Amino acid sequence: MVERTGLAILAFLGWVGEVSLFGLRAMREAFRPPFEFAEITRQLYEVGWRSAPLIATSGFSIGVVLSMHTRASLERFGAEAMIPAGLTIALIRETGPLVTALLVSGRVGAGIGAELGAMKVTEQIDALEAVAVDSFKYLAVTRIIACILALPILTTITNVCGILGGYLAETSISGMSLELYFSRAFAVVEFSDLIPSTLKTMVFGMIIGTVACYLGFTTTQGTEGVGRTSTRSVVMSSILIILANVVLVRLIFFLFPPV
Amino acid sequence: MNHLRQGSDAHVDAAAHSDGDGPAIRLEGVSKSFADLKVLDDVTLDVAQGTGFCLLGRSGTGKSVTLKHIMGLMMPDAGRVFVHGKNVTELKRQELGEVRRTMGFLFQNAALFDSITVGENVAFPMRRHTDWAEEKILDTAKARLADVGLTEAFDKMPGDLSGGMKKRAGLARAMALDPDILLVDEPSAGLDPITGDEIDELLLGLKKKGTTLVMVTHNIPSARHVADELAMLHEGRIIAHGTAGELDRSDDALVRAFMRSESGG
Amino acid sequence: MSAKVIGAGAFVVIGALLFTAALFLIGERRMLFDDRFELYTEFAKLGQLEVGAVVRVAGMDAGEVTEVIVPASPADKFRVRMEVRDNLHQLVRTDSIASVQTEGLVGGIFLSIATGSEGAPVVPEKGTIPGREPFVLADVLEQASETFEQVAMTVDKISGDLETTIARVEVATKDAHQLFIDITPQIKSIAENGSRMSADTRQVIAGIQAGEGTLGKLIKDDTLYVRAREVADEAQVAMANVRQVSDEARRAIADFRSEDGPAKGMFAHVRVTLGQTRDVVANMADVTEAMKHNFLLRGFFNRRGYFDLDAISPAQYRAGVLENGKRKAMRIWLGSPVLFQTAASGAEELTDDGRARIDAAITTFLEHLPTSPLVIEGYASDGSEGDRYRVSRQRAGIVREYVLGRFGLTANNTGYIALAGNAVASPSGDHWDGVALTLFIDLEDLKFVPQPRSAGVPAVVSTKVISK
Ligand SMILES: Nc1ncnc2c1ncn2[C@@H]1O[C@H](COP(=O)(O)OP(=O)(O)OP(=O)(O)O)[C@@H](O)[C@H]1O
Ligand SMILES: [Mg+2]
């Protein structure tokens, strides 16, 4: 039993190691010509623009729900005035980045995993190589870069929509004006709340892209394998995101100690 | 791109081997295993420039694997693969890319990029490797599709094509850059006899223009028609190698049985 | 393809714009893009004011606290440096007062600067304006309670004076008559004010107890603050009035002595009014005291050292509610055979030997006494559960009375509790017969090394057996 757990842990570590090497290689390749700008743009469209509606809707609902929760707890202390700030801080620091990353890992991670997995088992990746295209650069690097670029932007969209959702929830109860809401919302937010936690999502993007591409590139066993890749890509990137988040939050607290 | 070469007609044997340039393709003692399965076992063969070469063998003997070795898509466990005298197994990525640019590959399952149209599939290699104007790229792509009788499929998505149509679209893509070496994996599988013959004529035409042709097929009449030389792969080894006539007279009953069949399986 | 390029572009541009907008909202709030001037203020108590706290001038967001400079000695004050928008500079005069304020209970702490008077000069760059010390509810209640007590004493004194005077004086002059007519309304108004004040205070407490409006709401609405402060202020005014009245009365009494006696009925009238006043003021003192012991405010006051053992059950007490991270219980166990003897009436009373033991025990506590609360725990291990409770309560009460009288301890800080027979970790095991003198002491005040805590007992720091 212990032995088996030990082996599982070793296997997981080995797997993480391989994915990391894959990611490192992608980072190295990203800075070597030729640069696949057209493909990066296309992927940015797929990963970013096409995720935006999902992200905006979720952000909005999260804002509404968070606002109701904050109200329920702050009302008890007679601190309704703190609702916008409480919600904004919660959203910007943690909820926004994490929820965005998990949603994107669901939509995009699964998508990339399935797409590359299918390309792999139908020999399209070989076909790319056969027409003298570096499939790693063309498929993996571009998608990883697109994920890295898209996540901070998507997170910002989540945050903004969340604050708007919070505003609607709030104004429907207290009739607060948009201006007052925003001034209260940003009353306690610091640059050190917004910038590090938004930029940390680049790491989440890197994880999503790398895991999905790695699993896609290593897909075997036909259509069944594609399904498995798609699922594993979501599961693995979610786990890694949550683990990485712990480290990142610690790191951010270390670099920007809360006052 | 396409170099016209001498000796592209009959009497290939002598012509190819006497060519000072050496063979277009050479496999030297190539072995390849997948896990416990030994697919290629010390395979050695030459394909002279401008000739048609046909690889025969029963299903699952490693014909496709052999083609992928030539393309550098698979690396041998042992042995070396030369293309135009360059050892594919030792090339750097970039050099390998340069070699691949002179080759065309038709995958057994066509392997069309299914996220772009058939026309874009054919245009893809040109977009990547030429600085041609958009118009020229599209015209060439259309011409290639016309060659394989697929003019009407230009704007279709690969998913909407039949198996045989995919095959031909794949061939059009493989021919896009006018390759010196064309590797085709069962070009006429899934085609009606008439279209199959048209494809054979197309390949013959290319060969006449100096393209080195390596073909895998189960269609013996087509192989007789297109290839100057044939080889048969069995249990990882080349068990027969020569012209169609030589294989007809082989000592090996399997080879003779193979050569007697009338159509592909 | 081009639609995708446009989509990707739009995505990046919209994202960048939103992010920049957020940056701007933060920047605007921090006034990074405004001209600012620097100024200082000083406080003895900071009241949780921190660097980064918002500064408001006349209620308008104006800047932030940039530094809190810790004083070099306890006599000095904290210096608070802040940056304030330049366009508000002309409002901040040398007589502007800075104060630390809270937006509701959990609201942000901010520094409020009141605009100065027209005549005063504008504060120079890096100038210092006076700070008003943060307002703390407990302090106000304390102050109110003290004031009420003084008022009550003064009223007592007046009526006492009057009583004696009435006894002596026989006749009244017309002037004296007039004087009493003058004084009576004032005394009446003190009484009226007093009863209104205590009604107000009682209403606040009732509000808290009824749970109508939670504690937070009350504090957020500032009701408690404002009312308590008003009550304290009014009490002070009342006190001044009473003093004045008492002086006038004294003069009048002196007059009486020299002149003819006043009308006796008049004296009686004044006596009744004074009596009412005394009751009312005493009432107010009670109510303020009750406020300190109010359930919801208890946590708040506990931290400040107030206890109300009536509100704590023996079970809670055993579980250690009076202890916190720092404050631990320190017990001295005293056995009943030495402490008590049965009096002729059948009730227990302290023996001489017992008193000596208690004195010896308290002596070891004396060093910490006025600041650390003392609880007399009563124990009894004979008889039924009811008997044990009754006896243990009596014992604790007797010892508390003795200790209070003997050492003049503050009643507020000396409690007693009946714990019947159960005494985990007492010198005799799981029960005890007698009392334990328990000092709740901050570990920091403790000079000796704490011993490991025994299971089940509220963290006994040191167990010292004086007698069994
Ligand atoms: N990537 C791979 N991983 C594992 N085994 C493989 C791989 N590619 C081919 N094989 C195995 O190698 C053997 C030869 O396959 P190959 O595709 O070359 O056969 P083939 O001669 O082309 O057969 P067919 O005529 O049916 O196309 C098969 O047993 C196949 O299972
Ligand atoms: Mg095959």
**Joined tokens for residue B152:** 């009407």
Instruction: Say which range, A29-33, B176-180, C269-273, has the weakest mean pLDDT.
Output: C269-273
Residue C93, pLDDT above cutoff 50: yes
* 120-159 in chain A: CB under 8 A from chain B: 122-124, 126-134
Residue C443, pLDDT above cutoff 80: no
Residue C66, pLDDT above cutoff 70: yes
Stretch C309-323: mean pLDDT:
71
**Joined tokens for residue A217:** 């590139």
Predicted local distance difference test score (pLDDT) of residue C159: 59
Predicted local distance difference test score (pLDDT) of residue A154: 94
Q: Do A124 and B114 touch (CB under 8 A)?
A: yes
Predicted local distance difference test score (pLDDT) of residue C382: 84
Predicted local distance difference test score (pLDDT) of residue A185: 84
Predicted local distance difference test score (pLDDT) of residue C56: 87
The single-letter DSSP state of residue A1 is -
Q: How confident is the model at residue B168 (pLDDT cuts 50, 70, 90)?
A: confident
Shortest Cα distance, chain C CAs vs residue A191, angstroms: 7
Predicted local distance difference test score (pLDDT) of residue C135: 54
Which pTM was predicted? Answer: 0.62
The CB of B69 under 6 Å from ligand 1? The reply is: no
- CB of C51 less than 8 A from some CB of A: yes
Q: Residue B58 to residues B33, B47, B107, B257: CA-CA distances in angstroms?
A: 18, 21, 18, 11
Alpha-carbon C231 to chain mean position = 14
Q: Do A123 and B105 touch (CB under 8 A)?
A: no
Stretch C7-15: mean pLDDT:
86
User: Considering CB atoms only, which of C26, C51, C104 is closest to A189?
Assistant: C26
Interatomic CA distance for residues B150 and B162, integer angstroms? 11
Contact B180, B103 (CB under 8 A): yes
Give the CA dihedral B162, B168, B170, B175, nearest 10 degrees: -170
Separation of CA A122 and ligand 1 centre (Å)? 14
The continuous run of DSSP H or E covering B206 comes out as: helix B193-208
User: Three-state DSSP class for B9?
Assistant: coil
Separation of CA B119 and ligand 2 centre (Å)? 25
Predicted local distance difference test score (pLDDT) of residue C303: 43
Stretch B63-84: mean pLDDT:
89
The CB of B59 under 6 Å from ligand 1? The reply is: yes
> Mind listing the pLDDT tens digit for each residue in A36-49?
888 889 899 988 88
> Mind listing the pLDDT tens digit for each residue in B87-102?
888 888 888 888 888 8
The continuous run of DSSP H or E covering B14 comes out as: helix B12-18
Stretch C30-56: mean pLDDT:
80
Ligand 1 mutation target, pool B36, B63, B65, most atoms within 8 A of CB: B65
- Contacts A41 to C, Cβ<8 Å: 4-5, 8-9
Q: How confident is the model at residue A203 (pLDDT cuts 50, 70, 90)?
A: very high
The CB of B76 under 6 Å from ligand 1? The reply is: no
Residue A161, pLDDT above cutoff 90: yes
Task: Give helix A178-185 / helix C2-29 axis angle, nearest 10°.
Answer: 80
Contact A198, A95 (CB under 8 A): no
Interface mutation vs chain A, best among B67, B94, B109, most A CBs within 10 Å: B109
Q: What residue has token string 């899934």?
A: B190
Contact B224, B54 (CB under 8 A): no
Looking at per-residue pLDDT, the higher value among A257 and A212 belongs to A212
- Contacts A119 to B, Cβ<8 Å: 113
- Contacts A130 to B, Cβ<8 Å: 71, 73, 100, 103-105, 107
Residues above pLDDT 70, as percent of chain C: 51
> Mind listing the pLDDT tens digit for each residue in C202-241?
665 555 544 443 444 444 445 555 555 666 666 666 666 6
Predicted local distance difference test score (pLDDT) of residue A165: 93
Instruction: Say which range, A87-101, C27-41, C288-302, C415-429, has the weakest mean pLDDT.
Output: C288-302
- Contacts A74 to C, Cβ<8 Å: 106
Q: Do C4 and A41 touch (CB under 8 A)?
A: yes
Most confident of A175-184, A237-246, C192-201, C290-299: A237-246
Predicted local distance difference test score (pLDDT) of residue C430: 81
Instruction: Say which range, A4-18, B70-84, C180-194, has the weakest mean pLDDT.
Output: C180-194
Residue A60, pLDDT above cutoff 90: yes
Residue C12, pLDDT above cutoff 90: no
Stretch B55-71: mean pLDDT:
89
Interatomic CA distance for residues B190 and B219, integer angstroms? 11
Shortest Cα distance, chain B CAs vs residue A45, angstroms: 14
Q: For chain A, which residues make up each domain, given as ranges? A: 23-250
Interatomic CA distance for residues B215 and B229, integer angstroms? 10
Stretch A166-182: mean pLDDT:
85
Q: How confident is the model at residue C55 (pLDDT cuts 50, 70, 90)?
A: confident
Q: Do B113 and A133 touch (CB under 8 A)?
A: no
Looking at per-residue pLDDT, the higher value among C38 and C412 belongs to C38
Residue A126, pLDDT above cutoff 80: yes
Predicted local distance difference test score (pLDDT) of residue C183: 59
User: Considering CB atoms only, which of A124, A130, A132 is closest to B129?
Assistant: A132
Of ligand 1's atoms, which has the minimum distance to the CA of residue B58? 25
Q: Residue A3 to residues A12, A14, A30, C55, C61: CA-CA distances in angstroms?
A: 14, 16, 40, 61, 63
Separation of CA B258 and ligand 2 centre (Å)? 16
Least CA distance to A129: which residue of chain B? B73
Q: Identify the nearest ligand to the CA of B65 by its number.
A: 1
Predicted local distance difference test score (pLDDT) of residue A57: 94
Stretch B60-74: mean pLDDT:
89
Interatomic CA distance for residues B234 and B241, integer angstroms? 12
Predicted local distance difference test score (pLDDT) of residue C266: 53
Pairing of β C36-43 and β C109-113: unpaired
Single-letter residue type at B39: V
Alpha-carbon B248 to chain mean position = 23
Stretch C178-199: mean pLDDT:
62
Least CA distance to B99: which residue of chain A? A132
Pairing of β C460-465 and β C434-442: unpaired
User: Three-state DSSP class for C265?
Assistant: helix
Stretch C132-151: mean pLDDT:
62
Stretch A174-184: mean pLDDT:
81
List beta partners, residue C439: C330, C374
The CB of B108 under 6 Å from ligand 1? The reply is: yes
**Joined tokens for residue B81:** 């693969």
- Contacts C8 to A, Cβ<8 Å: 41-42, 44-45, 48-49
Q: How confident is the model at residue C259 (pLDDT cuts 50, 70, 90)?
A: very low
- CB of C299 less than 8 A from some CB of A: no
Predicted local distance difference test score (pLDDT) of residue A39: 87
Shortest Cα distance, chain B CAs vs residue A258, angstroms: 48
Stretch C326-352: mean pLDDT:
83
- CB of B91 less than 8 A from some CB of A: no
User: Three-state DSSP class for B190?
Assistant: coil
Q: What does residue C464 show for φ and ψ, rounded to 5 degrees?
A: -125, 120
Contact C400, C416 (CB under 8 A): yes
Residue C441, pLDDT above cutoff 70: yes
- Contacts C296 to A, Cβ<8 Å: none
Q: How many residues in total does chain C contain?
A: 468
Cβ atoms within 10 Å of B197's Cβ, excluding its own: 15
Predicted local distance difference test score (pLDDT) of residue C247: 67
Asked if ipTM goes beyond 0.85, one says: no
Contact A208, A241 (CB under 8 A): yes
Predicted local distance difference test score (pLDDT) of residue C390: 87
Cβ atoms within 10 Å of B239's Cβ, excluding its own: 17
Q: How confident is the model at residue A54 (pLDDT cuts 50, 70, 90)?
A: very high
